[in-house]
Amino acid sequence: MGYIDLHVHTTASDGTLTPSELVRYAKEKGLNAIAITDHDTIEGNMEALKEGDRIGLEVIPGVEISVECPYGTMHLLGHFIDIDNGFLKENLEFLQRMRAERNSKILDRLKGLGMTIEYSDVLQVAGGGQIGRPHFAQTIVRGGYTKTSQEAFERFLKKGGPAYVDKFRFKPEEAIGLILKSKGIPVLAHPFTLAGLDPGGLEEFIVQLIGWGLKGIEVYYPDHTDEQIASYRYLAEKHRILITGGSDYHGNNKPGGDIGVYKGNMELSLSLVEEMRRLRDNI
């Protein structure tokens, strides 16, 4: 039947395993296919695809884009994107430039709070990939300013915290359009983070997203309750879009979860990958 995980992070963003390590780990765990979905970057995909080819594990190229949304945190997954697409690359490079500006502001804030932290320390923690708040958190821990990354988020980096700086985000319709233009399948990630919407509001918003080209909902996700799973599943079935799922595995950067585990013993099968591939061919 095959068993899959459509949401994992590598060192290209804020995961702790390199793309090759991640692919080998997935194989060890008995997975048959994984989608690489780093935040706002596709840099990890090429290495993962090569390693997948080498050891016999299907790697689905992907990305997870942070989107502007008044109802809470919205992330959009793009599966099966063409990683050579020029328009996609340009837009992701733009996001990288915006992140670089934001990172220097975060660093200034931390210095302003009395910390002796240099950008080179943060670069070292990130190991060559994109820099984000989790890397600042680890650097804060290394500097001895907090005991854990979680504490660094709570005291400094969380939204509204003294070192928090907002990041540029595309609008939902722009991000969906970007995924579609690069031949990918846009999927709403972990809808529970759209916390500002009641069930009726969520349905209305999803209908709007479908109008812009959304093709699926990440129904199975470690943080979803059974009730949330049932209601997201209902919405996906009612509006005839894909039901997907994934672990959001980040290695040691997000303790507790493991690759391939999205809810109890729930396992999505390779037939979903086939369905997505057919859908992609019609985009």
Q: Which is nearer to ligand AMP, 14 or 51 (CB)?
A: 14
- In the complex with Zn ion, the residue whose CB is nearer, 19 or 241, is 19
Q: Which of 4, 58, 75, 133 binds Fe ion (CB under 5 A)?
A: 75
Stretch that binds Fe ion, among 46-54, 55-63, 72-80, 97-105 (CB under 5 A): 72-80
What minimum distance in Å lies between the beta carbon of 64 and ligand AMP?
Answer: 9
Rounded distance, CA 54 to CA 129, Å? 23
Decide: is 40 part of the binding site for Fe ion (CB under 5 A).
no
Which two tokens mark 199? 């069930």
Q: Out of 248, 261, 267, 268, which residue is the one contacting Fe ion (CB under 5 A)?
A: 248
- H helices present in 113-148, as ranges: 119-126, 133-142
Binding site for ligand AMP (CB under 6 A): 14, 39, 132-134, 150, 153, 158, 167, 254
Q: In this chain, which of 14, 47, 51, 58 binds Zn ion, going by CB under 5 A?
A: 14
In angstroms, give the least distance from the CB of 17 to Fe ion.
14
Q: Of Fe ion, ligand AMP, Zn ion, none, which one sits near residue 75, judging by CB under 5 to 8 A according to partner kind?
A: Fe ion
As a whole number of Å, the end-to-end CA separation of the chain is 26
Question: Measured over all CA atoms, what is the biggest interatomic distance in the chain, rounded to whole angstroms?
Answer: 55
Closest distance between ligand AMP and the C-beta of residue 283, in Å? Answer: 27
166 or 227: CB nearest ligand AMP:
166
Q: Which residues, other chains included, contact 225 with Cβ-Cβ below 8 Å and sequence gap of 6+? A: 192
Q: How far apart are CA 79 and CA 111, in angstroms?
A: 39
Q: What is the DSSP letter of 268?
A: B
49-68 binders of Fe ion (CB under 5 A)? 64
Complete DSSP assignment for 157-219: ISTTSTT------B-HHHHHHHHHHTT-EEEE--GGG-TT--HHHHHHHHHHHHHHT--EEEE
Encoding tokens for residue 48? 């993962």
Q: How far is CA 241 from CA 65, 80, 192, in A?
A: 19, 16, 18
Q: Which residue, judged by CB position, is nearest to ligand AMP in the bound state?
A: 132
- Interaxial angle between packed helices 172-181 and 86-112, expressed in degrees from 0 to 180 and rounded to the nearest 10: 140
User: Which residue's CB is nearer to Fe ion, number 35 or number 189?
Assistant: 189
Q: Which is nearer to ligand AMP, 7 or 39 (CB)?
A: 39
Closer CB to Fe ion, 75 or 135, in the complex:
75
- CA 147 to chain centroid: 26
Q: Which does 158 bind (CB under 5 to 8 A by kind): Fe ion, Zn ion, ligand AMP, none?
A: ligand AMP
Kindly tell me which of 14 and 267 has the beta carbon lying closer to ligand AMP. Answer: 14
Task: Give the residue at shortest CB distance from Zn ion.
Answer: 14
Least distance in angstroms from the C-beta of 110 to ligand AMP? 14
Are 125 and 138 spatial neighbours (Cβ–Cβ below 8 Å)?
yes
64 binds Zn ion (CB under 5 A): no
40 binds Zn ion (CB under 5 A): no
Binding site for Fe ion (CB under 5 A): 64, 75, 189, 248
